[in-house]
Amino acid sequence: MAFPYMEAVVGFMILMYIFESYLDLRQHSALKLPALPKTLEGVISQEKFEKSRAYSIDKSNFHFVHEFVTIVMDSAILFFGLLPWFWKRSGDFLLLIGLDVENEILHTLSFLAGFMIWSQITDLPFSLYSTFVIEARHGFNKQTIWLFFRDMIKGIALSVVIGPPIVAAIIVIVQKGGPYLAIYLWGFMLVLSLVMMTIYPVLIAPLFNKFTPLPEGELRMKIENLASSLQFPLKKLFVVDGSTRSSHSNAYMYGFFKNKRIVLYDTLIQQCKNEEEIVAVIAHELGHWKLNHTMFTFIAVQILSFSQFGGYTLVRNSKELFESFGFDTQPVLIGLILFQHTVIPLQRIVSFLLNLVSRAFEFQADGFAKKLGYSKPLRAALVKLQEENLSAMNTDPWYSAYHYSHPPLVERLAAIDELEKKED
């Protein structure tokens, strides 16, 4: 008797939805608590707490609706055989316009084009509501409707330009890979990720945001001196106009080897009036680099990627797997999609473990900044960012452990305090 892959996948998806909804309910209850956590009393203003609470509850309500619609749609697509139906219709479209339906690359691109249109249509109402109702209601959205749709069109155009060559390459590799298929796929994706990491900040990101050099002054000098003291090969220091879309703030770094760049959101500079606070945030980010967190994450992703491709090679010719989902052929892309669905349980476990590692890294990076003498400004910056971004002040420990890659503010401040006590 054939194993019921489709029923097992749909069943697990629903079980995960129930479990995650339970965590969402716990978090929703925590968000409704009328008072700040004791450790934040006197640190966060009551006004900011009330605003944060209202914003978090709005997002939580929206999340319940979005996730319910998503699980209903995803389950229906699999259970009622809409995936093989859509694959056949994409082949019919090729016949209609006079193209070879037997050409798997063309058939796959036709399928993906239709799927992208479907995804855009179904996700658009949620994106619009999130941006122009929730984010706008709480003072974060800075986008015009024109800018929103312009970004969406640019994203679609990039997918149309970049997607087909990648899809074609993957199909050819799978068709000709032989016994070393997993190695070839992993090697291709490794090269692709390195290429994208190189060209994204130079060619793609500037299509959406404006990057300008941080002006000469005390802030630039302090950041450059900090980078120099840690032997961080800083080549360029940019400010990005994040304020054109949102008042949320951030900072990040990127680049290979001796060509590192740091990017500050203009909103971060506006919110942290004290330059030492901004430098403390950069010290935290440099801590990730100095402590090899970035390299560890990159290597971990490569190991997981290779493992997934190895698993895929074991089932790519499984007739039972394809037939369980309603397919009478075995297209490469469909095989990858089905395989991703069958390993969802493992993906959830790996994601949870990676979150645990990420949280440990955040504590270590805070500790690194503290050792450099940025304890007080880092505390101030963390509080300021929490306030300005209206991040949740009260968090459920189960929800936090499962979802958060960064520890809650309460835990980060307590960890910094503990380090200071050990030194006293």
Question: Which residues belong to the active site?
Answer: 285, 366
Does 288 carry a binding-site annotation? Answer: yes
Nearest residue to 115 (alpha-carbon basis) of 90, 79, 148 = 90
The sign of the dihedral angle between the CA atoms of 182, 188, 189, 194 is positive
Residue listed under structure tokens 């070393």? 180
* Residue 356 contacts residue 400 (beta carbons within 8 Å): no
Tokens of 79: 């259970």
Q: Tell me the backbone φ, ψ of residue 245, rounded to 5 degrees.
A: -120, -35
Q: Which two tokens stand for residue 263?
A: 């990017």
Q: Whole-angstrom Cα distance, residue 298 to residue 267?
A: 28
Sheet of 211-213: strand order equals 211-213, 234-240, 260-265, 251-254
- Block residue for tokens 């996700």: 123
- Do strands 251-254 and 211-213 pair parallel, antiparallel, or not at all (unpaired)? unpaired
Read off the tokens for 285. Answer: 């980010």
In the numeric block, the tokens 């503290």 are attached to 370
DSSP string, 338-392: HHHHHTHHHHHHHHHHHHHHHHHHHHHHHHHHIIIIIHHHHHHHHHHHHHHTT--
CB 36 within 8 A of CB 49: yes
Query: Which candidate, 41, 77, 208, 57, places its Cα nearest to that of 138?
Result: 57
The encoded tokens of residue 50 equal 């009330």
- Residue 366: partners with Cβ closer than 8 Å, 6 or more residues away: 284, 287, 378, 412, 415, 416
Tokens of 386: 């929490």
Which distant-in-sequence residues (6+ apart) come within 8 Å of 23 by Cβ? 396, 398, 399, 402, 403
Instruction: State the Cα–Cα distance between residues 289 and 312, nearest whole angstrom.
Output: 33
Nearest to 62 by CA among 145, 140, 128: 128
| Cα of 247 vs its chain's centroid, Å | 19
Q: Which residues are annotated as a binding site for Zn(2+)?
A: 284, 288, 362
Q: Which residues are annotated as a binding site?
A: 284, 288, 362
